[in-house]
Structure 1
Amino acid sequence: MSATRLIARDELRLMVRNRVAVIAFTLLVLLTLVAVLSSWSHQRSNADLRARHQHEAEHAFDAQPDRHPHRVVHYGHFIFRPLGPLAAFDPGVDAFTGSSMFLEGHRQNTANFGDVRQSSLLVRFGQLTPAFVLQVVAPLLLIFLGYGALARETERGTMRLLMLQGAARGQVIRGKLLALGAVALLAGLPAMIGFVAIAGQPGALVMPMTVIALGYAAYLALWAVLIVLVSALVRRSRDALLALVALWAVAVVLLPRVAPDVASAAVPLQNRLQTDVAIARDLRQMGDSHNPDDPHFAAFKQSVLKRYGVTRIEDLPLNYKGLVGMEGERLTSELFDRYAGRSYAAQNTQNGIVEAVGVLSPAIALRSLSMAAAGTDFAGHRRFLEQAEAYRYALVQRLNRMQAEAVSYADDVAEDPGADRRKRVSAASWEKMPDFTYRAPSGTALAAGALPGLAIVVAWLVVAGLLLARASRRLGESR
């Protein structure tokens, strides 16, 4: 048996003799299994709940009686964001952004009913998911198991004995890494088994699954290298433990918490009230369709009359009120899109700042990688909002066109007792309205979004490996 394997076997034997280490490892495995089962169950129940509510919302919309189309515009419609199978592994921002939207005319709403807003404040400290266990808990376990891998040998004076017996510096380093890598593999194995089971559901994509697996493997390998590196640089095990715990606290706990606050301070966002006030102010300046003297709609009226070659709106082949509704919805939607675009740009800048901090924290880079590949990051939430807005606009304009074509202008402005009945449209029209269908991104798009995070984690691993190779040259020397 080679010296590398002998050293690795001896290191593993020492770990097994440490009852605290064995108990900690067992607890990590149990915690991972609980995280996999609870996260998978939560994802399934959420997916079923959203599908059921979506079906009920569609049934309620289709079951409306005969109505004026504009009343249906204000009746509105609920839609729910579906969850992908990888959301059970890493739910990302889903708990904070909300899962449903109410769509109505003349207004662009935001998503509601996020888990954090409906649950205990403890949810804000992080959900128990396989991703959370691997990102936060697994590195800490590796630290407590491997902090003395080389420092212990130096402290006890056994490092020189190993070399006198013919073990090269590289063999000692590789043996310690092999032992700690085996522990990292065993620690991550339950989560990866759960990941494979989760990803085996219908709709799972191979490319993002592969990127996630590579990312977490590189992350755990990075911590194994960092632990051996720090243990090689210090003379005492206690110093190695303190340095590694400090590194973990900064890289895994502090920076991921501070980075979003720094980004928010650097690029502040308007709150909902400020945005609503600004939109209301701009709407007053754009034009009022109910004011016959409004410059914009007066010009719009003349353009419509000229287009159809008539002099009175009563002579138009279409209901002028429906045409005004279409024009008003076009103007307000353009305004909403401008404000949404500004908000998206600001949030992208904030995310860019956080990802830049990821250069200093592999945990941030891994989290970005994990959410992007699972489709639960901000880009995934924005994708849902944009598709929802496109559906809302098409639905409202379809109803406005129905008013223009199926309801006469004379009936629309009439006030006699029978006018209300004459301006209603058959209930069968609502069933013909298309349902909302979320278009999920391709596996290639999800994997591409995760590549920057993967590149940072791999870069960390390469740099740590080079530093360890350099530190190994002085291994065993008196200091």
Structure 2
Amino acid sequence: MSAVALIARDELRLMRRNRVAVIAFALLVLLTLAAVVSSWSHQRAVAELRARHQHAAEQAFDAQPDRHPHRVVHYGNFIFRPLGPLAAFDSGVDAFTGNSMFLEGHRQNTANFGDVRQSSLLVRFGQLTPAFVLQVVAPLLLIFLGFGALARERERGTLRLLMLQGVGRGQLVAGKLAALGLVALAAAAPALLGLIGIAMQPGALALPMLVIAIGYVGYLALWVLVILLVSALVRRSRDALLALVAIWAVTAILLPRVAPDIASAAVPLQNRLATDVAIGRDLRQLGDSHNPDDPHFAAFKQSVLDRYGVTHVEDLPVNYKGVIAVEGERLTSALFDRYAAQSHAAQARQNAIVDAAGLFSPAIALRSLSMAAAGTDFAAHRRFLEQAEAYRYDLVQRLNRMQAQGVTYADDTATDAGADRRKRVDADNWQEMPDFTFVAPGGGVLAAAALPGLAVVLLWLGVAAGLLAFATRRLGASR
């Protein structure tokens, strides 16, 4: 048996003799299994609940009686954001951004009913997911198992003895790395098995899952290297433990928590109330379609009359109230899109600041990688908002055109007893309206979005490997 294998076997035997370490490892495995099962169960329950509510909303919309199209514009419709299978591994921002939207004319609503706002404070702390366990808990276990791997040999005086027996520095470090690496793989095995189970679900994408697996294996390998590096640099095991716990606390707990606050302070977002006030002010500046002297709508009215070659709206072959509703929705939607784009741009700058912090914290880079590949990051939420707005605009404009073509101007402006009935269109029209269908990105898109985070993790891994190689050459030298 080679020297590397003997050293690895001896290190594993030493770990097995440590009852605290064995119990901690068993608890980590059980915690990971619980995270896999609970997260998968939660994701399935949420997906089924949203699908059920979406079906009920579509049925309610289709079941409307004969109505005036503009009443249907204000009746609106609910849509729900679907979840992909990988959300069971990393739920990302889904619990915080909201999962449903009410679509109506003249308004661009935000997503509502996030889990954080309707659940206990435990959800605010963070849902137990395999991603959370591997990002935060697993490195801490590896620290307590491996902090003394090399420092202990120096303290006991066995380091020089091993070298005198012909064990090279590289062999010693390689053996310790192999032992701790096997423990890291065993700790990650339940989560990776859960990822394989997710791969068997409908809609699962192989490429993003491969990127996730590479990212998490690389992240745990990074911690193995850092643990051996610190253990090689310090003289006492106690000092190695203190240094490693400090590194873990800063990189895995403190920086991921502080970075978003720094980003929010650097790029402040306008709150919803201020945005609504600004939109209301700009809407007044767009013009008033009910004011015959309004410059914009007066010019628009004249352009419609010129297009059809008539002098009065009563002579138009279409209902002018429907035509002007189409124009009004076009103007207001363009304004809503402008404010939404400003908000999205600010949030993108915030996320860029947080991603830059990944250069100081591999946990941030891994979290970015994980959410991007799972389709649960801000980009995925923005994708839902944009598709929802496109569907809302198309739905409202279909109804406005239905008013213009299906209801006469004379009936629409009449006030006699039977006028209300004449203004209505057949209820079959509601069933012909297309339902909302979220178009999920392909595996290549998700994997590409995760590559920057993966690059940072691999960069950290390369730097740690280089530093450990340098420390290995100096191992055992008198200081």
The normalised TM-score by structure 1 is 1.00
Match of 2:122 in 1: 122
Q: Which runs of structure 1 show a deviation greater than 6 angstroms over 4 or more consecutive aligned residues?
A: none
Superposed CA deviations along residues 6-60 of structure 1, whole A, max 9, x for unmatched, are 0000000000000000000000000001100100000000000000000000000
Q: What amino acid does structure 2 have at the position aligned with 1:231?
A: S
Superposed CA deviations along residues 317-362 of structure 1, whole A, max 9, x for unmatched, are 0000000000000000000000000000000000000000011000
Match of 2:472 in 1: 472
Match of 1:362 in 2: 362
Aligned partners of 2:117, 2:478: CA distance in 1, in Å? 58
Aligned partners of 1:229, 1:199: CA distance in 2, in Å? 36
Superposed CA deviations along residues 245-296 of structure 1, whole A, max 9, x for unmatched, are 0000000000000000000000000111010000000000111111111111
Match of 1:330 in 2: 330
Match of 2:378 in 1: 378
Match of 1:401 in 2: 401
After TM superposition, list the pairs within 5 Å mapping 1:254-273 onto structure 2.
254-273=254-273
**DSSP-derived class of the 1:358 partner:** helix
Superposed CA deviations along residues 371-414 of structure 1, whole A, max 9, x for unmatched, are 00000000000000000000000000000000000000000000
Match of 1:171 in 2: 171
After TM superposition, list the pairs within 5 Å mapping 1:37-436 onto structure 2.
37-436=37-436
Superposed CA deviations along residues 64-113 of structure 1, whole A, max 9, x for unmatched, are 00000000000000000010000000000000001100000000000000
Q: What amino acid does structure 1 have at the position aligned with 2:98?
A: G
Greater mean alpha carbon deviation, residues 287-296 or residues 67-76 = 287-296
What is the deviation of 1:199?
Answer: 2.2
What is the deviation of 1:121?
Answer: 2.0
Aligned partners of 2:431, 2:75: CA distance in 1, in Å? 15
Aligned partners of 1:235, 1:8: CA distance in 2, in Å? 21
Q: What amino acid does structure 2 have at the position aligned with 1:157?
A: G
Aligned partners of 2:289, 2:8: CA distance in 1, in Å? 79
Superposed CA deviations along residues 230-250 of structure 1, whole A, max 9, x for unmatched, are 000000000000000000000
Superposed CA deviations along residues 392-444 of structure 1, whole A, max 9, x for unmatched, are 00000000000000000000000000000001000000000000000000100
Superposed CA deviations along residues 135-166 of structure 1, whole A, max 9, x for unmatched, are 00000000000000000001111000111111
Aligned partners of 1:478, 1:175: CA distance in 2, in Å? 22
Aligned partners of 2:477, 2:152: CA distance in 1, in Å? 14
Q: What amino acid does structure 1 have at the position aligned with 2:39?
A: S
Aligned partners of 1:291, 1:73: CA distance in 2, in Å? 22
**DSSP-derived class of the 2:359 partner:** coil
Q: What amino acid does structure 1 have at the position aligned with 2:447?
A: A
Q: What amino acid does structure 1 have at the position aligned with 2:261?
A: D
Q: What amino acid does structure 1 have at the position aligned with 2:270?
A: Q
What is the deviation of 1:122?
Answer: 2.4
Number of equivalenced pairs? 479
Q: What amino acid does structure 1 have at the position aligned with 2:169?
A: R
What is the deviation of 1:472?
Answer: 0.6
What is the deviation of 1:120?
Answer: 1.5
Aligned partners of 1:208, 1:190: CA distance in 2, in Å? 18
**DSSP-derived class of the 1:300 partner:** helix
Aligned partners of 1:249, 1:126: CA distance in 2, in Å? 17
**DSSP-derived class of the 2:78 partner:** strand
Aligned partners of 1:161, 1:308: CA distance in 2, in Å? 100
Aligned partners of 2:98, 2:197: CA distance in 1, in Å? 26
Match of 1:18 in 2: 18
Greater mean alpha carbon deviation, residues 123-132 or residues 140-149 = 123-132
Aligned partners of 1:18, 1:462: CA distance in 2, in Å? 31
Superposed CA deviations along residues 209-233 of structure 1, whole A, max 9, x for unmatched, are 1000000000000000000000000
Aligned partners of 2:359, 2:474: CA distance in 1, in Å? 28
Q: What amino acid does structure 2 have at the position aligned with 1:247?
A: I
What is the deviation of 1:193?
Answer: 0.5
Q: What amino acid does structure 1 have at the position aligned with 2:174?
A: R
Aligned partners of 1:237, 1:123: CA distance in 2, in Å? 37
Aligned partners of 2:250, 2:327: CA distance in 1, in Å? 54
Greater mean alpha carbon deviation, residues 251-260 or residues 113-122 = 113-122
Aligned partners of 1:299, 1:388: CA distance in 2, in Å? 32
Query: Does 2:461 align with 1:461?
Result: yes
RMSD: 0.5
Match of 1:444 in 2: 444
What percent identity do the matched residue pairs reach? Answer: 80
Aligned partners of 2:83, 2:90: CA distance in 1, in Å? 11
**DSSP-derived class of the 1:159 partner:** helix
What is the deviation of 1:127?
Answer: 1.1
Aligned partners of 1:124, 1:167: CA distance in 2, in Å? 51
Aligned partners of 2:355, 2:9: CA distance in 1, in Å? 39
The normalised TM-score by structure 2 is 1.00
Q: What amino acid does structure 2 have at the position aligned with 1:197?
A: G
**DSSP-derived class of the 2:8 partner:** helix
Aligned partners of 1:380, 1:327: CA distance in 2, in Å? 31
What is the deviation of 1:476?
Answer: 1.0
